[in-house]
Amino acid sequence: MAAPKREAKRMRPDDIPVLGILRQALGYHSDRQRVIAENVANANTPGYVPDDIPQSEFARALSGAQSTRRVTLNATEAGHIQGRVNSGGSGAWRSMATPDSETTINGNAVVLEEQMVRSGENRMRFETALGLYQKSLSLIRMAARGPGA
């Protein structure tokens, strides 16, 4: 009688904590860029106060994810025990009203120059996180190929 075929369990990138953190960073910077773009779009709206998602929100979500992380055991066969990391984290950010340095006569507090600086800084941080994520994946691929492959 032939042995039954076992389905190989595939590892997901989210199973690696560093990649999960980098994905959260990419999500944070993507959401922050959306908020900055909304500020720029409302640069002429009377009474508009710009929003931002401060870095402390990312740190809060990250520390919450680390404190709620649990390791559970997942037995696939008798004698095989594998640990699995469940990463928590909401990924939901709270935006806060952050008036820029000036307010116009109509009550609008958006200063385009300050928004452009925020956008540029955010873009650099996004690209850094993306580069680290891509490099991590390429290292995993290289390790999976094995020696001489």
The answer to whether residue 63 sits within a structural domain is: yes
Is 2 a domain residue? no
- Indicate the pLDDT class of residue 17, thresholds 50, 70 and 90: confident
Rg value, the chain, Cα: 22
Q: Per the domain annotation, does 29 fall within a domain?
A: yes
Helix (H, G, I), strand (E, B) or coil at 86: strand
Task: Give the number of domains in the chain.
Answer: 1
Kindly state whether residue 109 falls inside one of the protein's structural domains.
yes
Residue scoring higher pLDDT (120 or 78):
120
Could you give the dihedral angle defined by the CA atoms of residues 91, 92, 93 and 97, in that order, rounded to the nearest 10 degrees?
160
> Considering the domain boundaries, does residue 148 fall inside one?
no
Does residue 23 contact residue 130 with C-beta atoms inside 8 Å?
Answer: no
Nearest to 96 by CA among 56, 51, 60, 59: 51
Q: What is the mean pLDDT of the chain?
A: 80
Residue 130 — very low, low, confident or very high, per pLDDT cuts 50/70/90?
very high
64-107 pLDDT, tens digit per residue, is 655 544 444 455 566 655 544 333 334 466 777 777 778 888 98
24-36 residue pLDDT tens? 999 999 999 999 9
pLDDT of residue 69: 46
The pair of structure tokens assigned to 96 is 């806060």
Range of the domain at 51: 13-71+82-143
